[in-house]
Amino acid sequence: MTIKNIKLTRRNVLKVAGGSLFAGAVGTTTGCSSAPEQASGPAPINGIMPWSNWSGNQVCYPAERARPRNAEQLAKMLKETTGKIRAVGAGHSFSGLVPTDETLLSMARFRGISHINEETKEVIVGAGTRLSALGDSLFENNLGMINMPDVNTQSLAGSIATSTHGTGEGFGSLSSYVTGLTLVTADGETIKCSASENKDIFDAARCNIGSLGIITDITLQVRESYYLKERSEMLPLEEAFEKMEEMRIAKRHFEAFGLPHANHMLLIEFTEVSKEESDANQTDTSETGDAYETFRTLANVIDAVPFLRGPVMSIAPRTVGVEERYGAWNDIFGNIRDMRFNEMEYTVPAEDGLACFREVLETIKEKDIDVIFPIEYRYVGEDDIWLSQFYKRPGAAISVHNFHDKPYESYSEQMEAIFDRYQGRPHWGKLHNKTEQDFAALYPKWEEFKELRSKLDPNRRFINNHLDAIFPVIG
Ligand SMILES: Cc1cc2nc3c(=O)[nH]c(=O)nc-3n(C[C@H](O)[C@H](O)[C@H](O)COP(=O)(O)OP(=O)(O)OC[C@H]3O[C@@H](n4cnc5c(N)ncnc54)[C@H](O)[C@@H]3O)c2cc1C
């Protein structure tokens, strides 16, 4: 492909800003730490197969792998063993939440909907159920998730462990739609919790970073099924900023992708429509061109001829037209992202979001930071979950990414300095450099969470290297 062929389509912008269907297939050499991916992938060590996350930046060699069949087997295992355990969902976290040298526990056998309350529209779901499978089952039962993240490849328990979210200030994170859950603690005790039963555990466990115990099932508030129109438009930067402020105040369901070094921004709105309107407007949404190739080509051209970055990034967005897609909620939300990246995301107070986003885009230009990966901007409603990024604070979530095989440390550190000035709270599942002191200042319920955690897991069975910095041993 030559530079003449480069056309930035709206679909390319979206594809480059998201993820993929495959996880955990790559990684590197030794230890359970962050490590860059190698083309050949990691080799087994002493016969132990490696585990790695979706982007390949987290790798470990667990001595044991467990996949309990049911809650009884899980409880028995916890009662009869004493070693460290980390639960894994779909391995879609970029931070070191999962790696362990000891037991890696998959809850993949806890899947599917076991009960539907037609009246209250609540469903009981196995912790290991992937969001895509949950979406299909809900749709078959004429039900829908109230909101969804960018992709649907995560597990439900993994998603709520980090307050995974979609967009719209009128909508909370997935954790905020949990109305009950069952937790098996370090010594094998089973605890049910909800707003009316073990309320403190409920408030902590809805965003738990895998540190309280193993969740076996989750009760989720859902709604009747629905249809959506997704409209995306590339706008000049200032026009986009004005429109975003209006949409935030109206608590509308929308997100934005800012393009580094460009003077345009992609805005995507979601509007609920009737089935009839959706059916009447079905469009061919099949892929046109390969996003990876387009963006890699852009990156390669810019690497070879750096002075072309400004012109390329300012001209290419102008070629993107308005696009509309109609469909059932689970089709519109379930994006397929087929290129890998590493990501940092911070949530700042919603009212400061646009100022912070502007500073991010301006800093990239001013400091001439070598990145072309789109920056995602979303709003999320507040909740009352102790460690949620949205605890008592509606938030603007800003995500910065780079290709999985490009360095991200310097870029993300520069962005983190901006987020810190706005009292940003990092996404638990994405890259950050925060430790216990920072979290104590960011979360009013930090001490309560820590105390409860120590009570439920006194021997630190659920603490790995990454969580050691977050919950250090005092004294
Ligand atoms: C391509 C891509 C797109 C993404 N899009 C979004 C997005 O739109 N919005 C957003 O907010 N985030 C997004 N993320 C981040 C992702 O949603 C979170 O990191 C999420 O936690 C990953 O879920 P998982 O099932 O892969 O869990 P894992 O990463 O495997 O685990 C996450 C945590 O959950 C714990 N855990 C898993 N199962 C259990 C269990 N049964 N009991 C107790 N603890 C458990 C683990 O121990 C770990 O602490 C994205 C990530 C990727 C790679």
Which range (3-12, 146-155, 246-255) has the least confidence? Answer: 3-12
Q: What is the pLDDT of residue 176?
A: 98
- Counting from 1 in the atom list of ligand 1, the atom nearest the Cα of 19 is 1
Local confidence band at 322 (pLDDT 50, 70, 90 cut-offs):
confident
Which range (38-42, 57-61, 96-100) has the least confidence? Answer: 38-42
Backbone φ and ψ for 188, nearest 5 degrees, come out as 90, 10
Query: What spacing in Å lies between the alpha carbon of 288 and ligand 1's midpoint?
Result: 29
Local confidence band at 277 (pLDDT 50, 70, 90 cut-offs):
very high
Helix axes 409-421, 353-366, angle to 10 degrees: 140
Mean pLDDT in residue range 407-436? 96
Query: What spacing in Å lies between the alpha carbon of 98 and ligand 1's midpoint?
Result: 10
Local confidence band at 320 (pLDDT 50, 70, 90 cut-offs):
confident
Q: What is the pLDDT of residue 17?
A: 56
Q: Is the pLDDT of residue 197 over 70?
A: yes
Q: What is the pLDDT of residue 6?
A: 52
Q: Is the pLDDT of residue 18 over 50?
A: no
Local confidence band at 102 (pLDDT 50, 70, 90 cut-offs):
very high
Q: Is the pLDDT of residue 8 over 70?
A: no
Query: What tens digit of pLDDT does each residue of 278-309 get?
Result: 999 987 655 444 555 666 677 777 777 777 77
Decide: 97 in ligand 1 pocket, CB within 6 A: yes
Decide: 156 in ligand 1 pocket, CB within 6 A: no
438 Cβ partners below 8 Å, 6+ apart?
A: none
Q: Is the pLDDT of residue 9 over 90?
A: no
Which range (317-326, 425-434, 455-464) has the least confidence? Answer: 317-326
Nearest CA to ligand 1 atom 44: 210
Q: Is the pLDDT of residue 119 over 70?
A: yes
Mean pLDDT in residue range 380-400? 98
Cβ atoms of 341 and 403 closer than 8 Å: yes
Decide: 395 in ligand 1 pocket, CB within 6 A: no
Cβ atoms of 51 and 41 closer than 8 Å: no
Mean pLDDT in residue range 203-216? 98
Q: What is the pLDDT of residue 19?
A: 37
Q: Which amino acid is at 204?
A: A
Rounded CA-CA distance 64/100 in Å is 10
Query: What spacing in Å lies between the alpha carbon of 158 and ligand 1's midpoint?
Result: 4
Rounded CA-CA distance 409/355 in Å is 23
Q: What is the pLDDT of residue 333?
A: 87
Q: Is the pLDDT of residue 27 over 60?
A: no
State whether the Cα torsion 183-189-190-194 is positive or negative.
Answer: negative
Mean pLDDT in residue range 352-367? 97
The mean of the pLDDT values for the chain is 89
Is residue 438 classed exposed, middle or buried when 0-12, 13-18 and 19+ CB atoms within 10 A define those classes? Answer: middle
DSSP for 397-464 reads EEEEEEETTS--HHHHHHHHHHHHHTT-EE-TTS-----HHHHHHH-TTHHHHHHHHHHH-TT-TT--
Q: What is the pLDDT of residue 330?
A: 92
Query: What spacing in Å lies between the alpha carbon of 156 and ligand 1's midpoint?
Result: 8
Local confidence band at 7 (pLDDT 50, 70, 90 cut-offs):
low
Domains and CATH numbers, the chain: 113-224 (3.30.465.10), 227-426 (3.40.462.10)
Rounded CA-CA distance 100/390 in Å is 28
Q: Which amino acid is at 254?
A: F
Rounded CA-CA distance 339/20 in Å is 6
Local confidence band at 215 (pLDDT 50, 70, 90 cut-offs):
very high
- CA-closest candidate to residue 130, choices 105, 106, 96, 159: 159
Highest mean pLDDT among 4-8, 19-23, 141-145, 245-249: 141-145
Local confidence band at 12 (pLDDT 50, 70, 90 cut-offs):
low
- CA-closest candidate to residue 353, choices 254, 430, 408, 419: 419
DSSP state, 475? Answer: -
State whether the Cα torsion 67-68-74-80 is positive or negative.
Answer: negative
State whether the Cα torsion 383-385-391-396 is positive or negative.
Answer: negative
- Counting from 1 in the atom list of ligand 1, the atom nearest the Cα of 110 is 41
Rounded CA-CA distance 385/205 in Å is 8
Query: What spacing in Å lies between the alpha carbon of 236 and ligand 1's midpoint?
Result: 34
Q: Is the pLDDT of residue 1 over 50?
A: no
Helix axes 237-249, 353-366, angle to 10 degrees: 160
Q: Percent of the chain, pLDDT > 90?
A: 72
Q: What is the pLDDT of residue 286?
A: 52
Decide: 147 in ligand 1 pocket, CB within 6 A: no
Q: What is the pLDDT of residue 24?
A: 31
Is residue 405 classed exposed, middle or buried when 0-12, 13-18 and 19+ CB atoms within 10 A define those classes? Answer: middle
Query: What spacing in Å lies between the alpha carbon of 154 and ligand 1's midpoint?
Result: 6
Copy the structure tokens of residue 92.
């879609």
State whether the Cα torsion 14-15-21-26 is positive or negative.
Answer: negative
- CA-closest candidate to residue 414, choices 455, 365, 470, 454: 365
Decide: 149 in ligand 1 pocket, CB within 6 A: yes
For residues 21 and 415, the model is more confident at 415
Q: Is the pLDDT of residue 89 over 60?
A: yes
Decide: 151 in ligand 1 pocket, CB within 6 A: yes
Decide: 19 in ligand 1 pocket, CB within 6 A: yes
The pTM for the full model equals: 0.92
Query: What spacing in Å lies between the alpha carbon of 94 and ligand 1's midpoint?
Result: 9
